[in-house]
Structure 1
Amino acid sequence: MRSKTQFKCNMKLAIISLMFLFFFIMLFRSSTFSFSQNLTKSNTNNLTIISSQEKTSSSSSCHSLPLTQTCTKNPPSLVNALIHYATTNITPQQTIQEILVSSKILEKKSPCNFLVFGLGHDSLMWTSLNYGGRTVFLEEDKSWIEQIQKKFPSLESYHVTYDTKVHQGDELMRIAMENEECKKISDPRISKCELTHKGFPNEVYEIEWDVIMVDAPTGYFDGAPGRMSAIYTAGLIARNKENGDTDVFVHDVNRKVEDEFSKAFLCEGYFREQEGRIRHFNIPSHRARLGRPFCP
């Protein structure tokens, strides 16, 4: 009797254990499946988020960049200048500090009309600094013009001659200061002042110049032409402008002619700055406001 009862108890215990095991297995499978689904769903959501972010990023990038990317070329004048100054050991006539005085003005005014007395090793630089504008060079040495034009045909230069000499500076100053015609504002081609240069190309007199650089003609020995008429005529051209002002620079003011003639005819009242051997004047239009004195 005890054995039979014990057998029944053992059977019941076994059945309960099997049912519990079956329930545990089903529960584990369900949990695993649910976890797998959640993981898959989470991965899918993550992939969707990442894909959305990539799409947004891609869309953002597309909006920030042109559909067709193009290569913007450097202007020829700048390319020529970079190559020239990178491959030559010839130093420009002006120092870096002197160049900065006029380059600051060109930065504000360019593209503009820029007249330069003198064709030199710095001519490519001036043309590049006035990119998009018109830069004209006036040179006394015809053979030098031909030499430069072969190398840099894009530079616009004209040959001019001067009939003065440095040793005449004092006499020309005295005559000009005594002659009232030298204080009148008129077209330089009809001016009666002895200092006026009338042999420039017509463009020089007809163009409204925004910036003028006087760095020629030669003036370092008595028999050289000197810059007496160049400085005076530059000032007359500036005053004769229809509207606006003209920035005029004179280089080599350490020399007597450049120093005295710039002060007398570009006027100390129009003086703005000097750095080393370069002097800067800002001359307003005298035609826009009639009655202005020659010097303020």
Structure 2
Amino acid sequence: MQAEAGNRSGLTLSVPMDLRQLRYFVAVAEELHFGRAAKRLSITQPPLSFNIRQLEASLGMELLRRTTREVALTEAGKVIYREALKLLALARDAEEQARRAANGEAGAVHIGFVGSSFLTRLASDIRGFAAARPEVEVVLYELSSYEQIDALQRGQIDIGIVHPRVMPSGIASRVMHREAFACLLPETHTLARQEAIDLQQLRHDDFVLFPRDFSPGYYDKILSLCLEAGFTPHIRHKVRNMLTIATLVSHEFGVSLVPASLGKVRLPNLVCRPIAHAANPSDLRGIWRQDEAQPAVLALLECLAASPA
């Protein structure tokens, strides 16, 4: 380790520094007694004396004035003592930062998400992770599932939260949250007062939904639910955001099938009802690069996987 120290004459020293030798020197400088310093360091006196002599030789100057009665710091020794304290503090800080980074307690995690995912417990899980690790910078990006896959491949995000779809090679995924689908209806709809909706009752309604190319997996699940109920939905309005779907339904442009968590959205003239006998759930998947090695990213993935879906 290179260290620079200035003395009163303005001389600058640039010499290799051994942190162990500096620790030994600081102990002697503070105790001003080799025996007490050795005891403090839990070593014997001969290796202590040897390392101090090596330090002085490398610096080319005497740091300690020794007599049979006392040990005292030279002027150069006083300078080196002050600088040694700074260097040792820096070394401890660097070691602590490295430890925290290795334990996933420092660094940065860039997270992509589809908007509806933050109506689920995943939002509180991520917030809890960030609160427990204040030195980890958590950065959020609202993106479509396709955009997240592209951003992940480009290294622009570390984790994505997406609707199910086929993943390209090199990307790992697993289910992070699973919930039932529900039906959004205008409060003025004839079925709005029912406790649960039989999908077959919606066969004549206009639907508000994502375009298929925007979210193929989500679209196909909705279509599958309707086909199982005996009809093909009339998708009249196509939008790209869950909140827009809810808004259009509240304004009586149609009905929609959405993850049940969207029932948390409160808009005038909007109700959310469970679907009777629906067995096909809505999934959110976490995605990440298969070769991911950042401890903070792996720690968040573990946190999200540990929570019940």
Higher strand share: 2
Q: What range describes the TM-score normalised by the shorter chain of this pair?
A: under 0.3
Alignment TM-score, normalising by the size of structure 2: 0.27
Alignment TM-score, normalising by the size of structure 1: 0.28
Structure number with greater Rg is 1
Q: Which has the higher contact order (CA 8 A, sep 6+)?
A: 2
